[in-house]
Structure 1
Amino acid sequence: MTDTSTLTPREAFELLLAGNERFVSGTPEHPNQDAARRAETVPAQHPFAVLFGCSDSRLAAEIIFDRGLGDLFVVRTAGHVAGPEVLGSIEYGAGVLGCPLVVVLGHDACGAVAATRAAVEDGVTAAGFVRDVIERVTPSVLAARAAGLVQDGDVIAEHVRHTVDLLLDRSRVLADHVEAGRTAVVGLSYRLADGSARLVAARGLDVPVDSAP
């Protein structure tokens, strides 16, 4: 069993992607999902990654990355919008639990991004607190428009990149961890059809970023 408490950011990233590759190929191992793991994690948790993703029901983190109990510290909101509670949760994962990796996970056909694009383009917005979600996604959609991006995949990738930058801009704790080499922040875009997660942003990791939609 891998000792996730001593992983480097690069090793944590590779471990996460290896799980996604198993999920995509239909050969999941379902690690750390038995009674022994349950007992092992009772005294303390040592997740190797903070997973900040969209709340979409098709993005169940432990399933699509083939992980188990105690592996991922998961924070999810519609459209992966980040308020103070989210920032505090991510800082807890990186600063207190010592996670060497923070992941922002977006996906194609995101309802929050689609609703925001409709609000920007047609002036059609939602009622209640859904409007707050749309307002928080709006800067990403406006940035995509300014860059001439119109395809769904391009807009989603821009929103993921914007969220990565926002986390580092707003959280001094997280930025300090990245600067010190203790933590990396990456942005992934998930494809619903084949289950793959591609890298669209990386801070603190020297890895190639996928620019395709």
Structure 2
Amino acid sequence: MNQNSSAIGRRDLIKLVSVGALGLASRPLWKAQPAQAVMLPSPNAALKQLMAGNQRFAQHKPTYPDQTVERLQEVAQSQSPFATVLTCADSRVPVEILFDQGIGDIFDVRVAGNIATPEVIGSIEYAVELLGTPLLMVLGHERCGAVTAAVKYEPLPGDIGTFVDAILPAVERVKDQPGDTVDKAVAANVVYQIEKLQRSPLIKMRSQAGKLKIVGGRYDLDSGQVKLIA
């Protein structure tokens, strides 16, 4: 092979790689679809599956499903979570553990106060619209620090207080009711965040079509139980 043909070969190779890279860049890679072989449960069946896992956890009888090396490899290229859970970032509320689920089972969205910010709503839209997740749960929890901060409404350093404004409307609904204001606000906040999520056309459309069930839950830190409240 002479020098000229070698140079041409290198140019062709560079062109081929460049075209390939542009082709990949133009593909909507973020539009990941569920694995074709996976049949997601119905919305009601998904809720039953999720709550059964919590019952096992609360009774100290976990089965640790979908946590093998085989499962890791199975979902490495695609995901088909049967539930989306929006919950608090609190370290005591580890979603996969308290629902006794494994890798790829739950699309887990966590933020202080389980608030539905635009970024959170977008994440959930991705799960329910593009992955086809049939169940959406907003999960509040006992003695939530974010809700407590909203109830107290005291100055907080840095950006810590940004989530307070997102919870205040829920606090307003229960602040004059008798009983534990924080606990009542936890439940009210779950309902309020669900209302915000239902304003999303994508989420609303899936729900109205019967392809998505939306529920609210409250996690008890002492017992480990999740109770449906909405």
Q: TM-score, normalised by structure 1?
A: 0.87
Aligned counterpart in structure 1 of residue 90 of structure 2, from 49, 53, 56: 56
Length, aligned pairs only: 193
CA distance in 2 between counterparts of 1:149 and 1:125 reads 25
Aligned counterpart in structure 1 of residue 53 of structure 2, from 7, 19, 29: 19
Q: Secondary structure at the match of 2:132?
A: coil
CA distance in 2 between counterparts of 1:101 and 1:125 reads 37
Q: CA contact under 8 A between 1:116 and 1:125: conserved in structure 2?
A: no
CA distance in 2 between counterparts of 1:186 and 1:28 reads 23
Aligned counterpart in structure 2 of residue 95 of structure 1, from 97, 107, 129: 129
Q: CA contact under 8 A between 1:115 and 1:125: conserved in structure 2?
A: no
Aligned counterpart in structure 1 of residue 116 of structure 2, from 65, 79, 82: 82
Uncovered stretches (5+) of structure 2, i.e. residues with no partner = 1-36
1:158 maps to 2:188: yes
CA distance in 1 between counterparts of 2:119 and 2:130 reads 15
Alpha-carbon RMSD: 1.3
Matched AA of 2:130: V
1:173 maps to 2:202: yes
| Aligned-pair CA distance for 1:155 | 2.0
CA distance in 1 between counterparts of 2:38 and 2:198 reads 24
State the structure with more CA Rg.
2
CA distance in 2 between counterparts of 1:44 and 1:143 reads 42
CA distance in 2 between counterparts of 1:74 and 1:150 reads 32
Q: Secondary structure at the match of 1:128?
A: coil
Aligned counterpart in structure 2 of residue 43 of structure 1, from 64, 77, 82: 77
CA displacement, residues 141-163 of structure 1 (integer Å, 9 cap, x when unaligned): 011125x2542332211111111
Runs of 4+ in structure 1 deviating by more than 6 angstroms, as ranges, are: none
The answer for the alignment partner of 1:31 in structure 2 is: 65
Q: TM-score, normalised by structure 2?
A: 0.81
Percent identity of equivalent pairs: 37
Q: CA contact under 8 A between 2:113 and 2:167: conserved in structure 1?
A: yes
Aligned counterpart in structure 1 of residue 168 of structure 2, from 135, 138, 142: 138
Uncovered stretches (5+) of structure 1, i.e. residues with no partner = 202-213
Q: CA contact under 8 A between 2:40 and 2:80: conserved in structure 1?
A: no
Q: Secondary structure at the match of 2:229?
A: strand
